[in-house]
Structure 1
């Protein structure tokens, strides 16, 4: 009769390792923790090293390795560092996915939305950097179609394509908001038409008419906006004359108002702001309200 001194039954191995007999039997049938031998009656027996092997299997399983990979490691068909590197990459991808889900849910919790809107937001948020770039490229290509790349203002096409080269590992709620809003914006037909109008006007190379100083516009018109001073009012007219020479001919004021209106749009400014959020650029204050105030003041002044 065989000498089984020092060998462990499956029940003893289970008690020593704190696992269930069912788990060890499953691992044994999977070839991960094979028995050292069997009794004449077919019962499994394990040597003292089996407990250490079981502990290693537990560790690898807790780290997320499947049984096939565990078996390869234990049989030295794969090294632990190689397997670890593979799983680090997998975990990184999983973490990115979880962060995107969290950001989308956070956005819905803050802003509300239907189940369908949440589904769309999630699909947009989890797009790869390549997929996001393709959406922006298609928008810019349609907007600047037929515009000479050497024409004045055509360089804006390159700037409008500036998206992060890589997927953000852990997007902030602000970045998820920005991408969803940007995707919705470039999909809006009226926005595309407006940007194309600006692109074609810019390609003609018409220079801004003289008469306004951007610093004065930001200072005086910006203050008027904050203080809710109507551009058509007497106080508004006084502010207008601080921005520009009151002796500027009416025709030139009208031409300046038309030029500013052509190249001023709050949605276009929002496009640049959203790109800034996605690319991590420093935020810049909005200029459009002040310019729109100036346009209205100019038109009121020439009537």
Structure 2
């Protein structure tokens, strides 16, 4: 054991603490290790207090604290507990970032993306919650610009902008995939125009006389689709009659098909599914294919 009167050169201090001379000199130059005096040759000398201080500095640095935080602890500008709490928060943020990066890399490996796609995926996944929300907000503003404030489209648009505040602390590859796909989707000009056309068209004030029951469409058209029945076939006509009734005029079938097609789009349905995945919810099963079959049957057996 060293006595309090014993002094160390920087080399002996480094060996005493099992560190490199370069590191001890750097910390000493930064003012973290006090110099007790100078030798006859002008070399720095350190006492036992420097040994204890060096041990503390090393411990704090190994915990990942920056030199500014270490200095704050040593000068009593902050307690170890306060600095540790701040560092825990910083580590939590870093862990979230690393988990997200890991998920993105998993997606890149799975999708065998190009360099450009990889850069886009990384950019989208690294965005802050505010930046992600602004992308969706801008999309919704474009969709509803000039639309009557009393239109049902306004309420739908508000639901379209409801993103989770943040990606989860430990996002699954599916959630990262969903956010990337959503970002690409709302950037598509064709998709933006399609959703805006839906918003501008709005819903009719009253349902047409021969409006189809969505439940019946899902049941009968969905089963026909699964069974491989062609919409224009005689069997397709029989399924259509079960949904609308056999007495609907051909011209009315065409009008129903045209109106329904205005609001049937697989990409819009995918938008809602992606929001659900990002939010950690099970997305609703796809309904659009059944409605597309129904629309095709209406047109095949119209005028």
Q: Does TM-score exceed 0.5, indicating one fold?
A: yes
Specify the alignment match of 1:107 in structure 2. Answer: 107
SS at 1:302's partner residue? coil
SS at 1:45's partner residue? strand
**Contact 2:33 2:54 survives alignment (8 Å):** yes
| Gap change, CA 1:157 and 1:41, over 3 Å in 2 | same
Is 1:159 paired with 2:154?
Answer: no
Name the TM-score, length of structure 1 as normaliser: 0.90
Is 1:260 paired with 2:260?
Answer: yes
| Structure 2 unmatched runs, 5+ | none
1:49 Cα deviation after fit: 3.5
1:192 Cα deviation after fit: 1.5
Range 46-55 or range 144-153, more displaced: 46-55
Specify the alignment match of 2:75 in structure 1. Answer: 75
CA shift digits 1:172-207 (9 cap, x unpaired): 222222222212212222212211221122155353
**Contact 1:152 1:205 survives alignment (8 Å):** no
1:105 Cα deviation after fit: 1.7
**Contact 1:128 1:167 survives alignment (8 Å):** no
Specify the alignment match of 1:178 in structure 2. Answer: 178
The root-mean-square deviation of aligned C-alpha atoms, in Å, is 2.3
| Gap change, CA 1:216 and 1:5, over 3 Å in 2 | same
**Contact 1:148 1:203 survives alignment (8 Å):** no
Q: CA–CA distance in 2 between the matches of 1:209 and 1:285?
A: 28
Q: CA–CA distance in 2 between the matches of 1:52 and 1:228?
A: 80
Specify the alignment match of 1:128 in structure 2. Answer: 128
1:282 Cα deviation after fit: 2.8
1:153 Cα deviation after fit: 3.5
CA shift digits 1:40-76 (9 cap, x unpaired): 3334433333333222111111122222321221121
Q: CA–CA distance in 1 between the matches of 2:256 and 2:178?
A: 33
SS at 2:45's partner residue? strand
1:287 Cα deviation after fit: 0.2
Q: CA–CA distance in 1 between the matches of 2:52 and 2:290?
A: 73
**Contact 2:4 2:48 survives alignment (8 Å):** no
- Aligned ranges for residues 211-230 of structure 1 at < 5 Å? 211-230=211-230
CA shift digits 1:16-41 (9 cap, x unpaired): 32112222222222211123333333
Range 240-249 or range 268-277, more displaced: 240-249
Q: CA–CA distance in 1 between the matches of 2:25 and 2:105?
A: 42
SS at 1:247's partner residue? coil
CA shift digits 1:228-261 (9 cap, x unpaired): 2211112222222332322233333223222211
| Gap change, CA 1:141 and 1:203, over 3 Å in 2 | farther
| Gap change, CA 1:156 and 1:108, over 3 Å in 2 | same
**Contact 1:136 1:186 survives alignment (8 Å):** yes
Specify the alignment match of 2:32 in structure 1. Answer: 32
Specify the alignment match of 1:250 in structure 2. Answer: 250
Specify the alignment match of 2:116 in structure 1. Answer: 116
Specify the alignment match of 1:238 in structure 2. Answer: 238
| Structure 1 unmatched runs, 5+ | none
4+ residue segments displaced more than 6 Å: none
Q: CA–CA distance in 2 between the matches of 1:159 and 1:73?
A: 48
Q: CA–CA distance in 2 between the matches of 1:293 and 1:266?
A: 12
Q: CA–CA distance in 2 between the matches of 1:276 and 1:4?
A: 66
SS at 1:162's partner residue? coil
**Contact 1:211 1:245 survives alignment (8 Å):** no
